[in-house]
Chains A and B, each alone.
Chain A
Amino acid sequence: MSELRAQLREWRAAVQQRLPPWSSRTLAGLLLVIGIVLPFLFSSSSAFMNATIIALAYAVMSLGLNIVVGFAGLLDLGYVAFYALGAYSLGWFGSGFFFKAHVHVLVSPVASTLLGVHLNFILILIGAALICAAAGVVIGLPTLRLRGDYIAIVTLAFGEIIADVAVNGQSVHIGGGMTLTAGNLGISAVDSPYFPGIGSFNLLNLRPWYWLIFAILLFVLFVNLRLRDSRLGRAWVALREDEVAAVSMGIPLVKTKLSAYAIGAAFGGMSGAFFGTYYTVVNAGQFQFGFSIFILAMVIIGGLGSIWGAVVGGLALGYINNYLIPDVLNNFPSKLGFNFQLTSVEFGIFGFLLVIMMILRPQGLIPERRRRLEMTAGIGAEDAQLVETQGPAGGPI
């Protein structure tokens, strides 16, 4: 087995040496072309297209969480909060939910006759990113003095708080008979994306939805790649690797950590806003704790800290969750004579996959070059003392 591996490694190195320097660019270009023409290969309202769209939106979230957990090493178990806030941004600013208001900016002719706040989807996307970035800073502040597991607990609580607010928001009156959320009933009849010259999207033709989320993914991917090899990206990794050494090298702790939370949250919000309009309803029941873990599993299966890993992890779990299990293999157990459907044991399947991954390939599908398993790294007692000057939340460190 190990000989085989060594042989494979040798071959790979030999192939990599022979590849011309432009090969990676060509590969990226090829993937881009495939990504653009993909919808033409499938029926415009097929289950596969639906699964692809959801998988791409998962990949956007996975890329966002990867910045927080993978780059900056801050274990965030409440990422679903940003999905929720992004989706509610869409519900608030792209539906008739705030029926006392009459605001219409660059929306379809139909929507501009309706009550409520109706903004163009791109504006909502930007708004969702900003709202979530602000929320990311709010969740980041109390975790600044914490490390490792304790960060996980605080973020977990934050995710639960947002989920509870989403459920109980229907009893929060904000005047004029309007409430904050619609609880488990959901905010429905949300606007579909509309672009002048293209028209409104509808769910009979999924191709425009696909290109929209594909464009969002490309944008998020671009930002990720640029940030990784930048002053800020290095500062994140430095903080992850050794906080004490990093601040001693001139990296401002508060600013750098909060920027990781904010940017990671912004991407979650963008994906959430897309889900809001794609699912046509913003329902409090969507924002379960399990979803935070699901996104984290994408990042880990892909390879913690690896950008391409996050994309592959998001796509892989997206397809498994929304295509392979419900559409392809769902009746597989009954063919074997068992009396259950595969969808009813999907969490068991994900758990099994994670365990298999941890045994066979703990570094993830596409490991980061600067790979390191943060979760298992010990936290020295000496370090714990050294943060005493990092000040109370909100103050300068």
Chain B
Amino acid sequence: MSPVETPAPPAVAVLRAEHITKMFGGLVAVNDVSFYVPQHSIVSLIGPNGAGKTTLFNMLTGLYRPTEGRILLGERDITRARPDVITKHGVARTFQNIRLFGAMTAVENVMVGHHAQMRAGLFGSIFRPPRVRREELQTREHARELLAYVGLREPVFDRLASQLPYGDQRRVEIARALASKPRLLLLDEPTAGMNPNESQALTEFMRTLRDDLKLTILLIEHDMKVVMGVSERVTVLDYGKKIAEGEPAVVRADPGVIEAYLGRQE
């Protein structure tokens, strides 16, 4: 199977991955994948388990370095950038298995998301001049606003993240990601463990995020209802290779995709 050709990306692609490959020893987890994410769009990354989706996310956020290829954020090459630097340039993410800071409150979790936006250094933190005091107050206030924005209520703001119910933890994670003022938001299976109603609500919320905050969203998703309902483009991975790409309706009808999901019919 030859790799699917990517059409020339539009001028306003927020993110472009060019021929990226990731090998772990002899294992090729992601094999020569190219794709792009247009500005203000919602793009889905789908594929069977083990297809390399999360590995791809980890490369986009700097946790892994690609073995080959390059990643461009706007015009900036972030292929070898550190995770915190990539975050600073406007990429935020959530995790498949929620990774909140369990021993911190919901508000503190979101305040950690503000880290790159804040300026207080060591001596500022110790002596706390008015500038730092103001920054701290504003950050706390903004964190509370974000928590309210993702649909949490006041009483849970100051509870430890580890004590929150699952659904609330997902929301805190999104609020924490939003706190870094991203241009591009990566969501790794945001509807995992949700019932159909909750998934539907999250789908609506993703649209709101894009329209309100002028965000671009790239998500990994298994729930086809969500994928088909929300995405403008879909990229399909299988065994580390891109096997299809395009509008949801086109991808759904693609024989290669059907085969990857259902197996070959003899």
Chain A interface residues (CB < 8 Å from chain B): 222-223, 226-227, 229-235, 237-238, 241-242, 244-253, 259, 263, 370-372, 385-386, 388-389, 396-397
The answer to whether B112 and A397 have CB atoms under 8 Å apart is no
Interface residues of B (CB under 8 A from A): 24, 58, 61-65, 82-84, 87-88, 92-93, 95, 99-104, 108, 111-113, 115-116, 118, 120-122, 125-128, 132, 136, 160, 176-177, 179-180
Please indicate the chain B residues that have their CB under 8 angstroms from the CB of A253 in the complex: 82, 84
| B109 → A minimal CB distance (Å) | 8
Query: Does the CB pair A247–B103 fall under 8 Å?
Result: no
A-B contact pairs, 29 of them (CB 8 A): A226-B127, A227-B125, A227-B126, A229-B136, A230-B125, A232-B121, A241-B102, A242-B99, A244-B99, A247-B84, A248-B61, A248-B93, A248-B95, A249-B87, A249-B92, A249-B115, A249-B176, A249-B177, A250-B87, A251-B112, A252-B82, A253-B84, A372-B103, A386-B63, A388-B64, A388-B65, A389-B64, A397-B82, A397-B83
A384 CB to closest chain B CB, in angstroms? 12
B125 near A232 with CB under 8 A, answer yes
Verify A231–B84 contact, CB threshold 8 A. no
Residues in B whose Cβ lies below 8 Å from that of A388: 64-65
Task: Report the minimal beta-carbon distance from A363 to chain B, rounded to whole angstroms.
Answer: 12
- Using CB atoms, name the residue of chain B closest to A371: B103
Docked pose: A235 CA to B93 CA in angstroms:
17
Question: A370 to B93, Cβ gap below 8 A?
Answer: no
Contacts of B118 in A (CB 8 A): 231
Q: Which of A226, A247, A248, A397 has its CB near the most chain B CB atoms (within 10 A)?
A: A248
Judging by beta carbons under 8 Å apart, are B62 and A389 in contact?
yes
Interface of A is mostly: helix
Docked CA distance A250–B177 (Å)? 10
Do the beta carbons of A247 and B82 come within 8 Å of each other? yes
Residues of B within 8 A of A371 (CB): 103
| Interchain CB contact under 8 A, A386 and B58 | yes
* Complex interface: chain B residues within 8 A of A246 (CB): 101, 112
- Chain A residues closer than 8 Å to B102, beta-carbon distance: 241-242, 372
In the assembled complex, the CB of A126 is this many whole angstroms from the nearest CB of chain B, namely: 14
Q: Is the CB of B115 within 8 A of A234?
A: yes
Q: CA A234 – CA B103 in complex, angstroms?
A: 11
Distance in Å from the Cβ of B157 to the closest Cβ of chain A? 15
The interface residues of chain B lying within 8 Å CB-to-CB of A245 are 95, 99-101
The distance from the CB of A269 to the nearest CB of chain B, in whole angstroms, is 16
Cross-chain contact B82 with A223 (CB below 8 angstroms): no
The complex places the Cα of A388 from the Cα of B22 at a distance, in Å, of 13
Report A-chain residues with C-beta under 8 Å of the C-beta of B179. Answer: 249
Between B64, B83, B92, the greatest number of chain A beta carbons within 10 A of the residue's beta carbon is seen for: B83
Which of B87, B92, B103, B136 interacts with A237 by CB under 8 Å? B103
Instruction: Output the nearest chain B residue to A259 by Cβ-Cβ distance.
Output: B122
Q: What 5 pairs across the A-B complex have the smallest Cβ distances? A: A250-B116, A230-B125, A370-B103, A250-B87, A241-B101
